[in-house]
């Protein structure tokens, strides 16, 4: 897909990945409508000189935030929506506050579905358009300690696949990207400690952003970032019992760190 001259709505632009992804897209020649909850953080995004961009403060877990984003996107002439906004919460489900669970589901699954639905009538009128959903390896390999997050990201993957099939006769491409752990502030100290204990690899936001831009530019419909995570995603779809057994051996360490979260 042509990124030079594309007009992109990027949600969660003030986050660790969002800031870097905004720069990568700008370097590729795209104009950007950057949304986030924190206007001060949005204002600190460092973009290349001469970049065509606008900032929009919006909470996408509320109808008002969806409406303002759709209105701004139409005025901006957007032809690409990147659903990047997300939150995580590490801990055992039985010990989590329900408000935290609701926030995870609303931000990671409800908001992208609602925003996409509201913007589709506009996107389907564009000569070339795309919806990019930033998922997670945990959407394909659900992980203990991330129950609600895994559920939301699995739902986002299912949404992406179903929507891709629903829009197969339109000009709108649907892309789903599933990174593994990213070295950003979304990971609290307990998660970083768990990754070190388990030997789980993390990627820089710069590497992930480059992958996302490449997938969009090359019309790659779906992809996992990182190995062996890509293999385990395939294995979990083929033989989930084997993944159950493998993760059970790590459960004691996961619980140890989860109780400290």
Catalytically active residues, by annotation: 149
CA 214 to chain CA mean position, Å: 16
Residue 56: beta bridge partners? 35
In 69-98, which positions are buried (b, 16+ CB within 10 angstroms) versus exposed (e)? bbebbeebebbbbbbbbbbbbbbeeeebee
Q: Which of 201, 207, 212, 191 is nearest to 83 (CA)?
A: 212
Rounded-to-10 torsion of CA 5, 183, 257, 12 = -30
- Helix 229-238 to helix 240-248 angle, to the nearest 10 degrees? 120
Q: Are 31 and 37 in contact (CB under 8 A)?
A: no
Query: For residues 139 and 158, what is the distance between their CA atoms, to the nearest angstrom?
Result: 9
Query: For residues 201 and 149, what is the distance between their CA atoms, to the nearest angstrom?
Result: 19
**Burial (0-12, 13-18, 19+ Cβ within 10 Å), 252:** exposed
Q: Are 11 and 115 in contact (CB under 8 A)?
A: yes
Q: Per this entry, what is the length of the chain?
A: 261
């Amino acid at each position: 897909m042509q990124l030079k001259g594309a007009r992109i709505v990027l949600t969660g632009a003030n986050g660790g990945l969002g800031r870097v992804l905004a720069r990568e897209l700008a370097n590729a020649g795209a104009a950007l409508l950057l949304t986030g909850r924190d206007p001060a953080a949005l204002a600190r995004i460092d973009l290349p000189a001469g970049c065509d961009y606008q900032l929009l403060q919006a909470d996408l877990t509320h109808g008002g935030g969806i409406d303002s984003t759709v209105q701004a996107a139409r005025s901006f002439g957007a032809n690409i929506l990147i659903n990047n906004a997300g939150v995580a919460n590490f801990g055992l489900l039985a010990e989590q506050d329900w408000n935290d669970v609701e926030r995870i589901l609303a931000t990671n699954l409800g908001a992208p579905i609602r925003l996409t639905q509201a913007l589709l009538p506009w996107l389907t009128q564009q000569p070339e358009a795309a919806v990019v959903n930033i998922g997670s390896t945990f959407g394909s390999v659900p992980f203990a300690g991330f129950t609600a997050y895994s559920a939301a990201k699995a739902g986002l993957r299912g949404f992406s696949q179903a929507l891709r099939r629903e829009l197969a006769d339109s000009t709108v491409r649907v892309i789903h990207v599933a990174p593994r752990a990213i070295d950003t502030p979304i990971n609290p100290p307990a998660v970083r400690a768990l990754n070190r204990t388990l030997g789980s690899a993390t990627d820089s936001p710069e590497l992930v952003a480059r992958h996302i831009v490449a997938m969009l530019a090359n019309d790659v419909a779906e992809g996992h970032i990182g190995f062996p995570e890509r293999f385990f995603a395939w294995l979990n779809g083929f033989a989930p019992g084997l993944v159950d057994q493998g993760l059970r051996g790590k459960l004691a360490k996961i619980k140890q760190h989860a109780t400290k979260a």
